[in-house]
């Protein structure tokens, strides 16, 4: 069984049971954020064993699928790059347009290094706005300096 097959089983059960990601998070998560739970069920992160057991029950998954949800996956969620889906493409466009700007400003503030994509968290929320609601992302990643030995 491959991780991609687990994702397909999850999506099929979610669809037929009419569940939302919010409900799934509430039923499954012990200490994991909604973004990480969703990413794990889409094959990009891992769940804690207790969470995987609840997921297996919720989605009627076989034992191997339950174990697979606790394993670290081979990450990479996009079938092509640049992404063809318009919603995901917009994030890619932001890197194309602002990538060198982010590099300049982060390095002016922090020196030589990177923002971690590993020690990283993020929240997403709706920001009501008269001219049309907005998607608000807050991302925070530890700054890691290039070490010099």
Among this protein's residues, is 148 annotated catalytic?
no
For 28, the token pair is 């499954």
CB 25 → its own copies: shortest distance, Å? 10
128 forms part of the interface with its own copies (CB under 8 A): no
84 forms part of the interface with its own copies (CB under 8 A): yes
Among this protein's residues, is 93 annotated catalytic?
yes
Among this protein's residues, is 77 annotated catalytic?
no
139 forms part of the interface with its own copies (CB under 8 A): yes
Residues 15 to 44 in contact with its own copies, rule: CB under 8 A: 15-16, 20-22, 31-36, 38-39, 42, 44
The answer to whether 50 and 72 have CB atoms below 8 angstroms apart is: no
148 forms part of the interface with its own copies (CB under 8 A): yes
């Amino acid at each position: 069984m491959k991780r991609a097959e687990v994702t397909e089983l999850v999506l099929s059960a979610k669809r037929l049971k009419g569940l939302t990601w919010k409900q799934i998070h509430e039923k499954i998560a012990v200490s994991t954020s909604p973004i990480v739970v969703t990413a794990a069920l889409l094959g990009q992160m891992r769940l804690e064993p207790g969470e995987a057991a609840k997921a297996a029950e919720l989605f009627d998954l076989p034992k191997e699928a339950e174990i697979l949800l606790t394993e670290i996956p081979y990450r990479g969620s996009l079938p092509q790059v640049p992404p063809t889906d318009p919603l995901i493409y917009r994030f890619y466009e932001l890197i194309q347009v602002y990538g060198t700007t982010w590099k300049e400003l982060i390095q002016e503030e922090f020196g030589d290094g990177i923002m971690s994509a590993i020690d990283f968290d993020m929240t997403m929320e709706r920001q009501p706005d008269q001219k049309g609601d907005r998607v608000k992302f807050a991302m925070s990643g530890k700054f890691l300096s290039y070490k010099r030995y």
